Each structure stands twice: as structure tokens, then as C-alpha cells.
Amino acid sequence: MRQLFASAWVIARRDYGATVFSRIFLLFLLTPVFPVIFGGVFASLGTGEDQAAPRAPLVAIATDAPSARMLVTAHDRLRARLGPDALPDLARQPAADGAGAGERLLAGHDRGYDAVLTGSLDRPHFLLAARGPASLADDVGLIVDTARADRALGAAAPPPIALGTARVAAAPEATARDRTGVAKAGQTGLFIILVMLAGMSLSTFIEEKSNKVIEVLAAAVPVDAIFLGKLASMLGIALTFVGVWSVAIAGGIIAFRPAIVMGLPVPAVGWPVFVALLIAYFVGNYLLLGAVFLGIGSQAGSPREVQVMALPVTMLQLVLYGFASAGVAHPDRWIAIAAAIFPWSSPLAMIARAAELPALWPHLLAMLWQLVWLVLALRVAAGMFRRAVLKSGGGWRWPWMRASR
């Protein structure tokens, strides 16, 4: 046992060093920056044209002059409270009298009115252009209502009240729905990181196979140790990546927008435990997937075969994610329990559970369960490698290998 771990350590140290202390790793580490930079560049390029595009609807006020004045006052008052985008813009026009005057205004003006209000406050008449949104009638109705109320109250109208703001420090008790949101977010975040990082372990054996070091390794240390070492180094690389970005993002949030954290609903197990479980399940899921991918990748004879396997393997992850997320809304339904029991979806299902239910013992159980399966997966992968690649033990081989030799 000691020899196993000592050998695995030698392999892991070499793999980790060769990956992390290389120039290409910096590129790998910076990869998530690129979408952000490109997003920023495209956004800044786009703003020039897009600024005018989503303008507020424009309504011509062609009522009699007193009504128009009161409407504009009411509009200003409402807008001061609701913000600039909530209500349509108003444009005062001379009172339109006579049949068809409103229609002519709608049709004629260069700028293009979306609606025209004629008549008076007592008898308003609203015309909506074909392209005008239907909700415009309600918006204009609110302005007319306010203007009429103001007129009725006159000087008795109470002045606008200034509400003092008292922020509550503690987040309110999270509702079940909020927690489902945290559960989904935790699950999705975990899944995205896993999709980005787990695929790497498919190709780790190609290096040793192409430069023939595998023969030296297999002669010196047990195959189990090679697999364990490779898996540990992959985990180390992934944790380095996640660690750097977690620190950067957490630092950024604390430095610039601490309010984001304050507003989040608290997961059922509490934040410290949730974060600890997030890390633990990331490790668990990464190792479980990594063991399988390592096993699959070790069977590949060439980089081409690895490339071909990349897609099915990603699909497999999607299926697991779908399975785990099916139970998020109801952590005690059979599908959620099944996802928690099936080892490869268990970490994703359990992190959702941590957001929703406070009990801690199922997590201990789940981690032990995942560990058992990790050991099994590694042994099977190493066994398959011994048999099919080193051709030890029985003569069993993959069908395509039989064909090609």
C-alpha cells in the first residue's frame, strides 16, 4: 500500500509539474478571460448603433391645451418615480379637432407617433398605430388617471413622500424556491467546470504511449499506481485552475460588489458547509469522471481515437447533468434519490440537496459511497489497461483492437 501511494506520488508530481510549469498552462489558465474580453469588445462596438434603437414609444398629446398641460405634469411626476423607461414619451401637438384629425397625425408625422390622444381629460380619445404596443393604452391610461386625480384634488393633493431607506443586514429567510435556485446554480456551476476540465483526462495516457515511457512506468510501478498518480495530477491541475479563478472572482466580488453576496438566499446547510460540500463534490465528481475517462483514454492508441471519443464523453456528462437536475425541484422524489445513488450523478444531485435540505448525514454517506465507486472504477480501468493494452492476463481485447492487429 505504501509503495502504491509512493509510486503514485512520483507519477503525479511529474505530470503536475510538466503541465502546470509550462508556458501553455498560462494560456489554459487565461482561457476564461477571452470570452469576457471579446464580449466587452463586441459590446463596445455594438453600442454606437444600438443606442437609439430601443426608444420609448412616442405618444402625441393633441388634447385641448389645459388637459395637455395637466397630462404633461402628471407624466413628469410619474416618470420621476418610475424611471425613464417605464412610460412612453409624450409630444405636445396643437389640439386636433374634427373628424380624421387624429388619424392624420398618426399617419403624417416624420418621426412616427405610436399613438395619439385627442379630446380632453373628461372625454379622452385614444388612437393606437398598428405598430404601437397594446400595453400603451394602459400606460397612457395611468397618465390620464393621475392627471384627473390631480385635477380633482387640486391643492389638497398630498406632496410626494420621501421614504427613508433602512437596509436589513441579514438576508431574509430563504424560501424553498430561492433554495431551488441555489441548488440549480450550484449544480450548473459544477457541471460547467467539469465539462471544461474533465475531458483533459482522456488524453493523458497518449503522452506516455507516444513517447514509449509507458513501458518504463509499467515495469517500475503497479498499473494501479500509474492510474492513481495520473488521476491525482489531473485533480491537482483542475484544482489549480478552479482555485486561481475562485480567488480572483471572490476577490473581485468582495472588493467591488459585496452587495451581490448579501442578497443571495442562504442554502439549507448554511454557506460555510455549502462551500465545503461544493469543493468536496467537485473533487468527488472530477475523480469519478476522471477515472472513467482515464480508463477510456488509456485504451486509445492514437490522438485521433481520443478526439473521436471526446464528443460521446461530453454527451455522457450532459446526460448525467440532466439526470441530476431532473430531481432538483423535489429532493425527496424517487428521481432525485436515484440520481443521488447512481455514483456518477451523485455529486451533482447531492450538491442540489445541500442547498435544499439541512440534514448532513446523507452527505457523509454519499461521499463514502462515491469513494467506494472511485476505487472500483480505478481498479477496473487499471485492469482493462493491463489486459487490453499491456496484454497481461487473459486474451481479452476490444473488438476494434482485435480487428486492427
Partner 1 sequence: MTALAVEAHRLVKRFEGQRAVDGIDLAVAEGTIHGVLGPNGAGKTTTLRTLLGIIEPDEGWRTVLGDDRPMRAAPRIGYLPEERGLYPSMQAKEAIAFLGALRGMTLADGRRRALDLLEEAGLGEAATKTIRQLSKGMAQTVQLLGTIVHRPRLLVLDEPFSGLDAINQQRLEGLIRAQVAEGATVLFSTHVIAHAERLCERISVIARGRVRFDGTVAEARGRLPQRVQLVTRQADGAWRAALPADAAADGRRFTFALPAGGIEPVLEALIAGDAGIEALSIERPSLHEAFVDLVGEAVPQPDMGELAP
> Which residues of the chain form contacts with partner 1 (CB under 8 A)?
3, 6-7, 10, 14, 18, 22, 207-208, 211-222, 386, 390-395, 397, 402
Minimal distance, residue 194 CB to partner 1, in Å: 28
Q: What is the smallest separation between the CB atom of 243 and partner 1, expressed in angstroms? A: 24
Record the cell numbers describing residue 379, joined without a space.
Answer: 481498479
Host H or E run for residue 163? none
CA-nearest of 10, 29, 15 to 233 is 15
For residue 403, the minimal CB distance to partner 1 (Å) is 12
Residue 145 or 215 with smaller CB distance to partner 1:
215
Q: Which is nearer to partner 1, 59 or 223 (CB)?
A: 223
Smallest distance from the beta carbon of 307 to partner 1, in angstroms? Answer: 22
* Identity of the amino acid at 32: P
Pick from 145, 144, 116, 111: nearest CA to 128: 116
Radius of gyration of the chain (CA): 32
Min dist CB 370 to partner 1, Å, is: 28
Of the pair 193, 221, the CB lying nearest partner 1 is at 221
Give the integer Cα–Cα distance in Å for 17 and 23.
12
Shorter beta-carbon distance to partner 1: residue 139 or 224: 224
Cα dist from 13 to 20, 132, 216, 225, 263, whole Å: 10, 67, 16, 12, 42
Report the run of H or E that residue 372 belongs to, with start and end: helix 361-384
Q: Residue 37 or residue 216: which is nearer to partner 1 going by CB?
A: 216
Pick 215 or 332: Cβ nearer partner 1: 215
SS3 91: strand
- Indicate the pairing of strand 58-63 with strand 89-92: parallel
Shortest spacing between CB 371 and partner 1, in angstroms: 25
What is the smallest separation between the CB atom of 335 and partner 1, expressed in angstroms?
43
CB of 390 to partner 1, least distance (A): 6
Contact 56, 136 (CB under 8 A): no
**Distance from C-alpha of 301 to C-alpha of 208, rounded to nearest angstrom:** 11
| Cα dist from 312 to 167, 295, 308, whole Å | 50, 14, 8
Which is closer to partner 1, CB of 74 or CB of 223? 223
CA angle, 171 then 173 then 178, to 5°:
90
